[in-house]
Amino acid sequence: MNDALLQALETRRSVKADRLQEPAPSGAELDRILAIAARVPDHKKLVPWRFIVFEGEARAKAGELFAAACQAEEKEPSHVRLETERARFLRAPLVVAVVSRVAKRPGAPEWEQILSAGAATFNLCLAANAMGYGTSWLTEWVAYSPTVREGLALAENERIVGFVYIGTPMEKPEDRDRPKLADIVSRWAP
Ligand SMILES: Cc1cc2nc3c(=O)[nH]c(=O)nc-3n(C[C@H](O)[C@H](O)[C@H](O)COP(=O)(O)O)c2cc1C
């Protein structure tokens, strides 16, 4: 029995993006996290996901894209709003976008390919958490913006599953309520 793993899963919590500070994983450590993220159930082995890493300056450049998207898609955004967009990816020292890419394939419905991408995203979080880093899986409006899609060069069959913010937690987050098993579990007894 792997009690340490069980305890980690039992106490896991996301850490808010702006409560993540340096250091973040990089180099071999980040590669290890990404390799674990890619080790998920995948019907027909289609690899229906990929990762985009935003580190260092790339985070500020992404912010320029978000500000441009905001200007293109919203009515007269305020200066404060545009500054918020420029700083969006600067909330944490590292951001990894998980991109779902679905292929038409008999026997592997789109739904299953998307689920695999969700599993990859969560494996990414858990791997980073196991190394002591905090994570936050966020989409926010930027995951759904046509301008951002274009700026990130997403293909027609691709969608953002999440932007995973990664860094060192500034503090341990408080626990939050979880569903009662009685409300979500039934035993099939025909
Ligand atoms: C696909 C997906 C997208 C999410 N997007 C957001 C988001 O945009 N903003 C947000 O506050 N939480 C978002 N969350 C929720 C957080 O990742 C996190 O799960 C939540 O804050 C609960 O905390 P916990 O992970 O500690 O249980 C998203 C979760 C999923 C699965």
pLDDT digit string, tens, across residues 84-106: 999 999 999 999 999 999 999 99
CATH number of 16-55+92-169: 3.40.109.10
Positive/negative CA dihedral, 15, 19, 22, 26: positive
Residue ranges in the chain assigned as alpha helix (H): 3-11, 27-37, 58-73, 79-86, 110-130, 146-151, 181-184
Q: Mean per-residue pLDDT for 121-143?
A: 98
Q: Mean per-residue pLDDT for 65-86?
A: 97
Q: Hey, whose CA ends up nearest to atom 11 of ligand 1?
A: 138
- Identify the three-state secondary structure at position 54: strand
Please answer whether residues 169 and 20 qualify as being in contact, where contact means their C-beta atoms are separated by less than 8 angstroms: yes
Which one of 15, 123, 137, 166 would you pick to mutate in the ligand 1 pocket, going by the greatest count of ligand atoms within 8 A of its CB? 137
- How far is residue 97's CA from residue 153's CA, in Å, rounded to a whole number? 12
Residue 138: CB within 6 Å of ligand 1?
A: yes
C-alpha of residue 150 to centroid of ligand 1, in Å? 24
**pLDDT for 69:** 98
With a pLDDT cut of 90, the percent of the chain lying above it is 100
Q: Mean per-residue pLDDT for 9-14?
A: 97
C-alpha of residue 107 to centroid of ligand 1, in Å? 30
**pLDDT for 51:** 99
Q: Hey, whose CA ends up nearest to atom 12 of ligand 1?
A: 138
Average pLDDT, whole number, for the chain?
98
Q: Which atom of ligand 1 is nearest to the CA of 136?
A: 17
Ranges of each domain in the chain: 16-55+92-169
Selection from 46, 18, 50 nearest residue 34 by Cα: 50
